[in-house]
A and B are shown apart, each in its own frame.
Chain A
Amino acid sequence: MNTMKQFYFAAAALALALAVPALTDASHLNMAILVLMAAQAGIAWNMVGGYAGQVSLGHAAFYGLGAYASTLLLVKFGVNPWIGMLAGGFIAALLSLGFGWSCFRLKGHYFAMATIAVAELVQIFFTEWEYGGAAVGLYVPMDKQGWLWMNFSTKLPYYWLALGLLVITLAANWWIERSYLGYYFRAIKDEPDAARSIGVNIARYKQVALSVSAFFTAAGGSLYAQKELYIDPNSVLSTALSIKMALVSILGGVGTLFGPVVGAVVLTSIEEFTRIAFGGTGRGTDVIIYASLIIVIAVFYPTGLMGWLRSFRERREARAHADRQMAAPSAAVQTLGKEAS
């Protein structure tokens, strides 16, 4: 997508997002919040997993660090959640150095499996850490409410918060995509040896991608804690969550700006609707539909919905081009005919 198209797409999406609260009831508004939060986490994952091509399956570690950092700071020290969110982001970015140090010397499958192991270790740590609530989890106190304390008893403000965070994350991603960082990330993914040979410090830029990604993932985690008012290792640190972040991007299209947004809309809707329609039976019908969808997408649409749209458009353009080619000689023949007559 070129810049103008990106701009129009973003403007249309933003207009729609601004209109959503007026168009929906409370239960659908909650779903809209889930979509925005999934999209934000997907974009954050996409920075390192999509653009730089380092498939992390352990991003829940950063999400959980963000959620635990802001919540622990608030519960134990009364620190404002806005500051907690920033602190969580920086803590996650800092700890991503260790994450990167241990995983980046590995490639492909090995990297993916190592990230699972690191995230599992983080989850085990928080499950056993008494001060951090252990397996019981932590409640976010509701005594101080309002925008200053990022704490509300209605859903609507969380919608605006989620939208705001999504827009900021998108803007950061847009800036990265256009800056030299974006070129380096893509070079790491597609041509690591060529990039190294012209002097790009691969290790450093992998780490930059991971740290930026960790920062925004953690911010999403903090928002999750403030919205749900309760966190435990299972809800913010599970491997299933890591997978979901990656899946949102893959479904939409890895390494594209709006791919995770498209993916989040589709995936979260399907997840929520099947859960509402079939989840109550406790028989796993929703899981079966969700899993079948994952397999179909992974097998038949490896470039995601954005890739599918692009190939659709390319085919159409190729056809139009072919038509012009067909038309051109006949026009030439016509001119020749005119000249002859």
Chain B
Amino acid sequence: MTTDILLQTLASGVLIGLIYALVAIGLTMIFGVMDIVNFAHGEFLMLGMYSAFWLFSLYALDPMITLPLTVLMLFAFGVLLYKLVIVRIINAPMLSQIFTTFGIMILLRGVAQFLWKPDFRSIENSAVSGTVKLLGIQLGKPQLVAGVGAIVVTGLIYFFLNKTRLGAALEATASDKEAARLMGIDSHKMFSLAWGVGAACAGAAGVLLSTFFPIFPDVGANFILLAFVVVNLGGFGSVSGAFWAGILVGVIEVMGGLLLGPQYKTAIVLVLFLGVLMFRPQGLMGKA
């Protein structure tokens, strides 16, 4: 194995890992703020992909241009979902919570299949296509742009949480619901904000993926398990943890695929996941 291949694999692992991180940040935010695991998170990503696809094929608008629009749509969708369904299960037993978001997952897949057929679709010849040579390694432009885009969106989320009053309120709710409520923070507002921002993150990841990943109703299934792994590694509720864990998972997956064969790449990530769950349930970067 030459250094070139190793470097190339490493780079593509980091790039896909940035996308995983973005998906996981949305998931970890929802979990952190209201202790609900959203099984339908991959479907937010799927909706983001379809939004990019239709805006591209109907109006010839490039995914990178329509990114903000899709993010807004997904934000609205997340808030709507919270107000219509999730608000009713806040205090329900865990079993009901799991099966509600699980039901939403199957429902969204069914609706996507109903509206857009189960075909595989792809965005051809978007503004970013082709490859670029950087420091001696060949990288796909779409992947590179997606990686940079993921960093920008993650940066914005980080800024929002740490530098704005609303973001601070969200963080406060995540770390101590009761204390935040006593300080006059409306928890319902925070919950719907978390669902909005969470869905928007997954939607943004979907748009960034859409230029180089096939688009189909069940596409979310490829990401949800990985997102769980990332959220666990990073520590439930931790945004910066999810960011670094996402990159780590991307690299491990791609490297594992290179060493053991691509059919085992998911297995490697799952073994890592179980290992961390068992020996460091607070996550690699979480505090004990």
Contact = CB atoms under 8 A, between A and B. Distances in A.
A234 interface: no
A67 interface: no
Contacts of B93: 302
A114 interface: yes
Q: Which 8 A-B pairs have the closest CB atoms?
A: A284-B113, A287-B110, A294-B103, A291-B107, A295-B103, A291-B106, A298-B99, A288-B110
Contacts of B31: 109
A292 B114 contact: no
A124 interface: yes
A99 to B, nearest CB: 11
Contacts of A204: none
Interface in B249-288: 263-264, 266-267, 270-271, 273-274, 277-278, 281
Contacts of B278: 102, 105-106
Contacts of A294: 99-100, 102-103, 106
Interface string A270-302: 000000000000111101101111110111101
A121 B265 CA distance: 11
Contacts of B267: 121, 124-125
Contact of B109 (A55, A106, A284): A284
Contact of A113 (B37, B99, B107, B111): B37
Interface of B: 31, 35, 37, 85, 88-89, 92-100, 102-107, 109-114, 117-118, 217, 225, 228-229, 232, 263-264, 266-267, 270-271, 273-274, 277-278, 281
A120 B225 contact: yes
B114 A285 contact: yes
Interface residues of A, number: 42
A114 B228 CA distance: 10
A299 B100 contact: yes
Given A105-B278, A120-B225, A302-B93, A250 B114 contact: no
* B contact face: mostly helix, strand, loop, or mixed: helix
Given A128-B264, A292-B107, A299 B92 contact: yes
Interface of A: 55, 57, 102, 105-106, 108-110, 112-114, 116-118, 120-121, 124-125, 127-128, 243, 246-247, 250, 254, 282-285, 287-288, 290-295, 297-300, 302
Nearest to A112: B98
A295 B217 contact: no
A117 B95 contact: no
A55 B114 contact: no
